[in-house]
Structure 1
Amino acid sequence: MSASTRLGFFCAVAANVIWGLFPIFWNLLRGTSALELVSHRIVWAFVFSMLIAVVRFRLSSRIVRVALLESLRRRQTWAIYSAAAFLIALNWGAFLYAVTNEQVLLSALGYYISPLFNVLLGVVVLGERLSVSRWGAVGLAGVGVSVMTVAAGQFPWVSLLMAGSFAGYALVKKKARLDPMNGLFLETLVLLSPTLVYLALLYQGGAGDFGRGDPMLDWMLIIGGFLTLVPLAFFSAAAQRIPLTLIGVLQFIGPTLQFMVGAFYFGEPMSTYTLVGFTFVWSGVAVFLATRR
């Protein structure tokens, strides 16, 4: 395994561990509406990514600066990162719909389906190949997802939208050529204008929690933007270094950690269907990681 591949593997694991533990942090802000939380995540992620981009630009060599500016002049660059921004916003929107309409199970199911979409796109679009044993691993994970779908009791269109948008985001990031931090700056820049319009309308109507006399809440919303940026940076770095199929399997870390947080930290009830599906998914992950391509 090359140094670049090892770094990509580490980045993918780190991103999914952070995403898996996110419920602990965001649960502390449960009094704020989900849409406002996402809006502040975008705004503060933009602020942090802009600061990092400016510092790096000033410290970089003239050759690096020229190369970056030339990339920013290309329509293809803006097309790629606009597509990435649209897909991640669509993913967040589907997630918001789920959690605000008491469909948390479908939301969790979406995170389990997403890695399977990554594997499918890696094989169909990028021509990545899987051995028979790894196809079997994907099949085990698919059985686990199917069990969770049956448990949900309805066609999981919200889950599929979440899974498809994030898998598409990963595919687009495979085509990206800017380094992860500059790329994330462009993505948040694309999302910034509509987000600011929404926040302006929200506060104009007398709603909104930020700046209402609770410094702790304000700081947590700001930190939330930084925490949003960190795993996306890790994920972007991973997407450029390791196969999409491996990214897909490692993504099972996130929802599994969320499952454990919900079951053991928050004490949520654990159904038999959930436990069976969990067992199949992790059996598939174990087989995938234990076998060669």
Structure 2
Amino acid sequence: MGLIYALLAYLSWGLVVPVHFRLLDGVSPPAILAHRVIWSALFVTALIVILRKRLVNPFPLRWRHALLIASALAIAVNWLLYLVAVSSGHMLDASLGYFINPLVNVALGALVLGERLRPVQMLAVGIALLGVAIAVAMAGRLPLLSLGLAMSFALYGLLRKLVAVDAMIGFYAETLLLLPIALSYALLASDAVPADGWHLGLLLLTGVTTALPLIWFAAAAQRLSLATLGLMQYLAPTGIMLLGILLYGEIPTPDRVVLFALIWIALVLYAGDSLLTARRTRAAMRGSTAETRGA
């Protein structure tokens, strides 16, 4: 079931969610974000009532739980940038951002948490930085949208790691923290409520397409190794990239082609190193178990 949950999560993020938001053409990204927060909060409230016996209660609250304020802001920025990318026809930039994200995670782990980088990981991060530098030299500008997506989601992941709270409870807390802002926008902004029922129905569904993939992801994380989950995460940006090129007719510019190529080389190195390390760890654990039984 772990593989099924992971496939449901990543294929939703890579295929269903971008098409859903692209269908909301004409609704501004801030308005979509406001609805996404409101309906996600209601949807997750219902789920928590149903699943309350299976959730890990975070109480009593600790000082570290205050970091959920920062993680809520980080995911709100990430969602807004993603909506801007999709609605403005820059799905390739969104895809690139989520391809870069794992390498930013590795760099943040080293800089903030003091995690030691293996040589291949250092090489992968270096190749990614080289790709960004070459793309900037070719285009004369930073790929700000892609970098913003990668860094905001990496920061979100780091904050959630530091908070260490149940995935659904943490997401629920974040939506509740963002809810007053979302409700204020929905009540005051002239573009918050579309005139036609089609767009209103699509906005109501944003709660489902936001919360369900996160819940499937949490279920997969409990059943799969981190190495397997880490490799499967590339399904989502691959799906976004294919949609952008095949369905929406986006054409990658030369600087993006070079950047994609170098990011892919970095990811292949990173993924191969992760698999090799996971195999060595399992082999060492089996060897240790065998020695214990022999003793």
Q: How does 1:102-141 map to 2 (within 5 A)?
A: 109-141=96-128
1:70-149 residue pairs with structure 2 within 5 A?
71-76=58-63, 78-95=65-82, 109-149=96-136
Q: In 1, are the aligned partners of 2:22 and 2:86 still within 8 Å (CA)? A: no
| 1:32 counterpart = 2:16 | no
2:49 is the alignment partner of 1:54: yes
Q: Which amino acid aligns with 1:34?
A: P
Deviation at 1:233, TM superposition (A): 3.4
5+ long unaligned stretches in structure 1: 1-5
Alignment partners' CA distance in 1, 2:86 and 2:23: 16
Q: 2:215 aligns with which of 233, 254, 259?
A: 233
Looking at structure 2, the residues matched to 50 and 235 of structure 1 have their Cα atoms a distance apart, in angstroms, of 18
2:91–2:240: 8 Å Cα contact kept in structure 1?
Answer: no
Query: Which of 166, 174, 177 in structure 1 is aligned with 2:164?
Result: 177
Which of 6, 13, 19 is matched with 2:13 structurally? Answer: 19
TM-score by length of 2: 0.76
| Equivalence map 1:235-274=2 (5 Å) | 252-274=234-256
Aligned-pair distance for 1:99?
Answer: 6.7
Residue 3 of structure 1 corresponds to which residue in structure 2? none
In the TM superposition, what whole-angstrom CA distance separates every residue of 1:204-258 from its partner, at most 9, and x where no partner exists? Answer: x4x4344x341x3222212222111133335556788876x99877655433332
Q: TM-score, with normalisation over the residues of structure 1?
A: 0.76
TM-superposed deviation, 1:36: 0.9
Paired letter, 2:124: A
Aligned CA RMSD, in angstroms, stands at 3.5
Seen in structure 2, the aligned counterparts of structure 1 residues 47 and 15 have a Cα distance that, compared at 3 Å, is same
Aligned to 1:195: 182
Partner of 1:127, secondary structure, is coil
Distance 1:255 1:193, change over 3 A: same
Whole-angstrom distance in 2 between the partners of 1:196 and 1:72: 27
Query: How many Å separate the matches in 1 of 2:175 and 2:64?
Result: 14
Change in Cα spacing, 1:99 to 1:289, as seen in structure 2 (3 Å) is closer
The amino acid of 1:271's aligned partner reads T
Stretches of structure 2 lacking an aligned partner (at least 5 in a row):
278-295
Structure 1 residue 42 and structure 2 residue 29: aligned? no
273 and 52 in structure 1: CA distance in 2 versus 1, 3 angstrom threshold: same
Deviations 1:35-73 (Å, cap 9, x if unpaired)? 11111111111111110111122xx28xx7xx72xx344
Q: C-alpha displacement at 1:281, in angstroms?
A: 1.8
Name the counterpart of 1:208. 192
- Contact residue 170 and residue 239 of structure 1 kept, 8 A: no
Aligned to 1:276: 258
Contact 1:45 1:188 in 2 (8 A): yes
SS at match of 2:23: helix
1-structure distance, mates of 2:4, 2:137: 34
